Amino acid sequence: MQESTATIDNKEPQESFWSIIKEAVLGSHRDFTKGPIGQSIILLSVPMVLEMVLESVFALTDIFFVAKLGADAIATVGLTESMMTMVYTLVIGLSIGASATVARRIGEKDPEAAAHSAVQSLYIGAIVSVILGVTGVLFAPNLLRFMGASESVVAMGSNFTRVMIGGNAAVTFLFLINAIFRGVGDAAIAMRVLWLANGINIVLGPLLIFGIGPFPELGVTGAAIATTIGRGTGALFAFSKLVRKGGRITIARRHLRPDPEMMWRLVRLSGTGTFQVFIGMASWIGLVRIVSTFGSEAVAGYQIGIRIILFALLPSWGMSNAAATMVGQSLGAKNPERAEHAVWLAGFYNMIFLGLIGLIFVLFPHYIVQFFTHDATVFNYGVDCLRTVAFGFLFYAYGMVLTQSFNGAGDTRTPTIINLFVFWLFEIPLAYALSVSLGYGPKGVFLSIMIAFSILAVVSAIVFRQGKWKLKIV
């Protein structure tokens, strides 16, 4: 019989907070299926949160420099990012399956099977990136027009879109390999990889956008090139770590043989996860499409507000990913009670963090948005978006952790069904009704986001407590 998590916690000596933080940043080699749950969450979440912090900084830095090129440039980035959600949908969906499978094998103490699963997921990622890349290069202007872009935005942004979607392999492999590292519990490596990728982005972006020094002035297209170079470099560095001996997982030549049966199992597991992410991502496309009917200034303000919100939410995804890793490994070790305890504790930590950030966003949105635009109309939309969405941060904290925990258990079906009802059957119709039918304008869209994500958290908590995710076989 498994010992209760409380007993496990009390049996282990408590270390100082700063020693745990240091270990988390340098890289921990602990077995996360044993020992104090709080320490395990911190050891996993600190590098994941730091990883996402720099991703957040990049998102803000990118829009900061692009904003200096005008509303059309901001709209270009916003509309293209909305289309890139299709790339993120497939990659994150595949990452869910890869991470859950790898974490379960690690929990079972079978690193060979974990490495085999990782390679098969990379093969699938290669196929996906080629198909999406060709589509983006050939149809970039048409895709922008479909998203409601004006002809001036199409003229300025077509090459930006071509580079971003055409070079999606950089995003695909960066996300996928980092998901594998998170699954095995090697979060510190995933952190360093993303720091490298986004560090290059942040430095190279303004050089190529404005033509500083010997670099050509490429405008908004320069931002896309910097992003692709940075993420591509990060992906190569991550792969080098994956094949290096001595880690929790090492890919060797014996693992490179394609295994159609394993790939099909991953596709089936990831398929539901992909649809789950697609539901959420497509809802964002639907929302930005509604906002675009109110003009480029509304889209620009919305994009600034959402980018700032990502500054808070992306680190919270780090905490959520830590919970998912704990769930997968604990279930592999036949200890579902430890998995459940870890989820609620991670949700509590996340609530404290997001609650403080949300309070700042509600009280001081003007001081934050003013750094990104001097256009009065864009400014007002950005402030309204930031303040309105932030009112639901306490709910988002638990909702994010619970969703990732279902996925970490390999139960991708449950959050998919919840997302379907909340986002497609509720959020988008509500956004249209509030903004268009009732005349609230873009504020109606902002309200619908806050309401939908709050409902998602409540429903997820009710279903999670039923415990059926503990029985999922991966």
Predicted confidence at residue 59, as pLDDT, reads 63
Q: What number is the average pLDDT over the span 220-224?
A: 91
Q: Model confidence at 281, in pLDDT bands (50, 70, 90)?
A: confident
Domain annotation covers residue 343: yes
Domain annotation covers residue 241: yes
Cβ atoms of 361 and 387 closer than 8 Å: yes
Q: Under DSSP, is residue 155 helix (H, G, I), strand (E, B) or coil? A: helix
Domain annotation covers residue 425: yes
pLDDT in tens, 299-350: 999 989 988 887 778 778 888 989 999 999 999 999 999 999 999 999 999 9
If one counts every other C-beta atom within 10 angstroms of the C-beta of residue 234, the result is 26
Q: What number is the average pLDDT over the span 378-393?
A: 94
Predicted confidence at residue 1, as pLDDT, reads 35
For all residues of the chain together, what is the average pLDDT? 88
Domain annotation covers residue 16: no
Predicted confidence at residue 315, as pLDDT, reads 78
Q: Model confidence at 239, in pLDDT bands (50, 70, 90)?
A: very high
Domain annotation covers residue 5: no
pLDDT at 11 over 70: no
pLDDT in tens, 132-147: 999 889 998 998 888 8
The structure tokens 């970490």 sit at: 408
What's the whole-model pTM score?
0.79
Predicted confidence at residue 58, as pLDDT, reads 66
Contacts of 16 (CB under 8 A, 6+ apart): none
Domain annotation covers residue 22: no
Torsion of CA 88, 91, 96, 98, to 10 degrees: -160
Token pair, residue 83, equals: 């289309």
If one counts every other C-beta atom within 10 angstroms of the C-beta of residue 294, the result is 17
Domain annotation covers residue 8: no
Contacts of 231 (CB under 8 A, 6+ apart): 170, 171, 174, 197, 201
Q: How many domains does one find in the chain?
A: 1
Q: Model confidence at 402, in pLDDT bands (50, 70, 90)?
A: very high
pLDDT in tens, 358-370: 999 999 999 999 9
**Domain carrying residue 436:** 33-468
Domain annotation covers residue 24: no
